[in-house]
C-alpha cells in the first residue's frame, strides 16, 4: 500500500512539474524565450579576400543592424585561431542602430585559409558564426 501511495505521489509531482513548464497558450516556455531572443540583421556573414600578399594583414568589417526592440550587447567575439583578431563596440547597440565587427587576418603563412569568428551576445542563446577565407601568396 505504501508503494502505491509513493508511486502516485511521484506521478502527481512529475505531472505538476511538466505542466509548469508550459505557458498558458500550451507552448513550452523554451519557445517563448527563443522567440524573444535578439534580432540582428547582418549585411554579410562571410567574406572572401581572394589572393592576398604574404605578410600584409587584411581586414573586413561585418556590419549589422539591431532589428529588435531591446538593446543588443556583444559579450565576446571569439576567433578560430591566433592569426585572426577582432574589434567591436563594447557599448549596447540600440534598436534600429547599426554597428560593425572588424576582423583582421595576419596573412603570415602562405596557402589557403578559412577561419570562423563566433559572435556571442549577452543573451546566452544568441550567437552568430561569421567566416573569412582566401589564399595567401
- Mean pLDDT value across the chain: 80
**Same domain membership, residue 51 and residue 8:** no
Half-sphere exposure of 116 (CA within 13 A, CB side): 7
**Same domain membership, residue 52 and residue 17:** no
**Domain total for the chain?**
2
**Same domain membership, residue 20 and residue 64:** no
pLDDT for 116 beyond 60:
yes
pTM: 0.69
- Give dist(CA 131, CA 104) in Å, integer: 12
**Phi-psi region for residue 55, left (φ > 0), alpha (ψ -120 to 50) or beta?**
left
Contact between 71 and 92 under an 8 Å Cβ cutoff? The reply is yes
**Same domain membership, residue 98 and residue 87:** yes
Domain with residue 79: its CATH number is: 2.60.40.10
Q: Quote the DSSP letter at residue 9.
A: H
What digits encode the pLDDT tens for the residues 35-77?
446 688 999 999 999 999 999 999 999 999 999 888 999 999 9
Taking the C-alpha atoms of 54, 55, 56 and 62 in order, what is their torsion angle to the nearest 10 degrees?
80
Residue 62 domain boundaries: 37-136
Q: Indicate the pLDDT class of residue 132, thresholds 50, 70 and 90.
A: very high
**Same domain membership, residue 49 and residue 6:** no
Amino acid at each position: 500500500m505504501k508503494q502505491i501511495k509513493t508511486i502516485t505521489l511521484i506521478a502527481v509531482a512529475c505531472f505538476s512539474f511538466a505542466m509548469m513548464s508550459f505557458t498558458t497558450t500550451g507552448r513550452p516556455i523554451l519557445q517563448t524565450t527563443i522567440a524573444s531572443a535578439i534580432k540582428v540583421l547582418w549585411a554579410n556573414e562571410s567574406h572572401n579576400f581572394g589572393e592576398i600578399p604574404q605578410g600584409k594583414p587584411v581586414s573586413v568589417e561585418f556590419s549589422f543592424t539591431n532589428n529588435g526592440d531591446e538593446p543588443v550587447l556583444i559579450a565576446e567575439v571569439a576567433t578560430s585561431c591566433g592569426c585572426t583578431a577582432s574589434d567591436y563596440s563594447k557599448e549596447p547597440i540600440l534598436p534600429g542602430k547599426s554597428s560593425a565587427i572588424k576582423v583582421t587576418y595576419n596573412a603570415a603563412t602562405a596557402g589557403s585559409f578559412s577561419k570562423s569568428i563566433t559572435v556571442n551576445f549577452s543573451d546566452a542563446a544568441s550567437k552568430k558564426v561569421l567566416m573569412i577565407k582566401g589564399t595567401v601568396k
